[in-house]
Structure formats: structure tokens, C-alpha cells
Structure 1
Amino acid sequence: MEKQSTNDRTKKGSGGYSNITIKKETAIRFRSYSKKFGKSHSEVLDGMVCYFKENNLDPFGEGTKIILDNIKKLERQMMKKFDRLIAIIKNMEKTSIRPTYEMMLILYEAYVRDGRKPKREPVKIREERMDFLEPRNIVPKVEHERILQDFESYKKHCNGMLQNVEKVEPMMGKPYLRLNMDIGQFEKLKHHLR
């Protein structure tokens, strides 16, 4: 069978074989190394040569330095990403976790305070008033009617607000009520109540 040089190959794995003379100790080491991959000696050697070529590595010179520099560069990039993650977690803690905890603590304290029985104040007996003969403040009829009209409009406004209240049942915690009102109406209400 004729020997073919590696330059004459057209496909990987096609072609004949060639002999290379190497030391016996090196051949033993290479055979034991190539057994780890479960491939032929030619495939392992070809893979090693491709790896060195693609990564521009020189096994006798700066090859290990390049690899170490790449590892250090990746390590620096990973540390920067870890710092970003830590910053995101700290921001979440400040903006959402801590305020939620504070609100829950306030609600819990209010619940505990409301859960206690209120102390009954002693009943004060009023002294008999003798001023019933004195004239009292009387509201004129016109002003009384105006107050009643204001009260009716306030009552309508309150009923309108109650129509916009909906019950929300969250997955955690007690159900609560939510008022659906746009910002303009809210500002108008605030101004009106001043």
C-alpha cells in the first residue's frame, strides 16, 4: 500500500497512514491519554493540533500564559457581573422588600392594638344644667336648607366613590379594598377637603 502525505487528503479520516518516530515513553503517555477519549490515536492527535491552531497556542512558549490571561480576564468579568447582581439585590431590598416589611410591621402593630379590649372609661354623671332658659344658637331656615343641599351633594359624591371600590383578594395576606380613581379626581378631592 502506498503512503500518502497529509496534504493529499480530501476528507477527514480518508487516506492512508504515515509513521512518526517518537520516544517510547512519549508513545506510552500518548496512548494512555488517548484512551481517556475513546477515540483513535489519529483523531486525538488531530484534535490536539486543531486546538493549538484555533487558539493560537504555542506549547513551547507563551501558550500557558495566554490561557492564564484568558482565565484572569474571565474572572474579572464574572466579578463585575457578581457586583452588578449584588447591586440589583440591594436596590430591590431598598425599594421593595424593606418598605413592604415596614408596612407589614405597621399593619401588624395596628392589628395587635385593635385586638386588645379597650379600657372602659368611667361614666361621668353630668350635673344638672340650669341654662335651659337661656336662648340657644338658632340656624336660619335658608342656611339650614343650604347645609342640607351640601350634605345631599356630599352623600351623592360618597356614593359615587363607593361605586368605584372593589374588593381585592391577594394570594398572601388579608383581602383589602381598592378605590379606582384617576389622579385628577384624587387631586380635586384633596383640594375640596382642605
Structure 2
Amino acid sequence: MDKGYENERFESLSIKTTTANKFRKYCRKISKSQSMTLLMMIEFFEDNKISPMESMGTNMETLERLIKKRINGVIAIMKDIEKNQTKPTVTMMQSLFKEAEPKRKTLILEKKDFKKNEKPHFHEERKDANEH
């Protein structure tokens, strides 16, 4: 039985034999009862505003335009999020990390308070090491 329709009574419809056979074969193919198959078909046409009398060409073009508009809308939303949320947040985080970094001290390689005539000892040693 069809869920939700157990208590409804049956009605008969008069349709041509070839159409009835084709419809029954389709119902078996999708594993639904004849009532549910017909109901699904009617709802499909109503929901999608499609008439079996008109061509699908114009409706498919309309559907394609609608999908493109929605995709463009999603892209615009993502760009807005990136511009107004992601980039400012990244900039703020980077500035916080720059302030939190320990300041690097310069290495002392030679004494700066030696007498003008006096040469530091380590320079002489380096010259000797380079000459050999």
C-alpha cells in the first residue's frame, strides 16, 4: 500500500490499452504503484511549471540562466566574505604575531670602545689564519 493513502478509495480511469500497458511497464521500472507514479508525474509537472504540451527548450534555457545567476550570487558572497572578514582577520592576526615576536639582538662581533691605535686581537688571528 502507498504510505499516507491507505484509507483512500480507488477510482477508475478510462485510458487506451497501449497507453495503460506502457504506463504499467513504467510503474514496474521505477518500482512504484500506478497511483503513486501518476501522482509523482503530476507533482513534477506542477512543481517545475512544465506543461507536456510545450517544448523543454525555453524552460531549460531559463533554468540554465537561473543556475548561472545563483552561481554568480554565491561567488559574490564568497568575495564579500573574503574582502570583509578573511583578509582583515588575517591582517589583524599577522600584526599580533609581529608584536609578539621577541626582538632580535645584534651579535657583538668586536669591541667598539678600544683605543684608536690599538687593533683588536681577533682580527690579527684571522689574518694569520687566512694567509696559510
Residue in structure 2 matched with residue 113 of structure 1 by the alignment = 105
8 Å Cα contact 1:52/1:58 also seen in 2: yes
8 Å Cα contact 2:27/2:37 also seen in 1: no
Distance 1:100 1:73, change over 3 A: same
Amino acid of the residue matched to residue 15 of structure 1?
A: R
Q: Does 1:52 align with 2:45?
A: yes
Residue in structure 1 matched with residue 59 of structure 2 by the alignment = 63
**Alpha-carbon distance between aligned partners in 1 of 2:95 and 2:112, rounded to the nearest angstrom:** 37
- Compute the displacement of 1:101 (Å): 2.5
Amino acid of the residue matched to residue 66 of structure 1?
A: T
Distance 1:23 1:15, change over 3 A: closer
- Compute the displacement of 1:46 (Å): 0.7
Amino acid of the residue matched to residue 78 of structure 1?
A: V
Distance 1:44 1:73, change over 3 A: farther
Distance 1:41 1:25, change over 3 A: closer
Distance 1:40 1:66, change over 3 A: farther
Structure index of larger Rg = 1
Distance 1:41 1:76, change over 3 A: farther
Identity of aligned residues (%): 15
* Secondary structure of the structure 2 residue equivalent to 1:113: coil
Distance 1:64 1:27, change over 3 A: farther
> Comparing both structures, which one devotes a greater share of its residues to strand?
1
* Secondary structure of the structure 1 residue equivalent to 2:10: coil
- The total of aligned residue pairs comes to 103
Task: Specify which of 82, 89, 94 is matched with residue 92 of structure 1.
Answer: 89
- Compute the displacement of 1:27 (Å): 4.7
Distance 1:70 1:40, change over 3 A: farther
Amino acid of the residue matched to residue 90 of structure 1?
A: K
Show structure 1 runs of 4+ deviating over 6 A: 119-122
Give the aligned CA root-mean-square deviation in angstroms: 3.4
Amino acid of the residue matched to residue 82 of structure 2?
A: I
Residue in structure 2 matched with residue 103 of structure 1 by the alignment = 99
> TM-score under structure 2 normalisation?
0.54
* Secondary structure of the structure 2 residue equivalent to 1:18: coil
Structure 1 residue runs of 5 or longer lacking an equivalent are 1-11, 123-194
Structure 2 residue runs of 5 or longer lacking an equivalent are 114-132
> TM-score under structure 1 normalisation?
0.40
8 Å Cα contact 1:57/1:66 also seen in 2: no
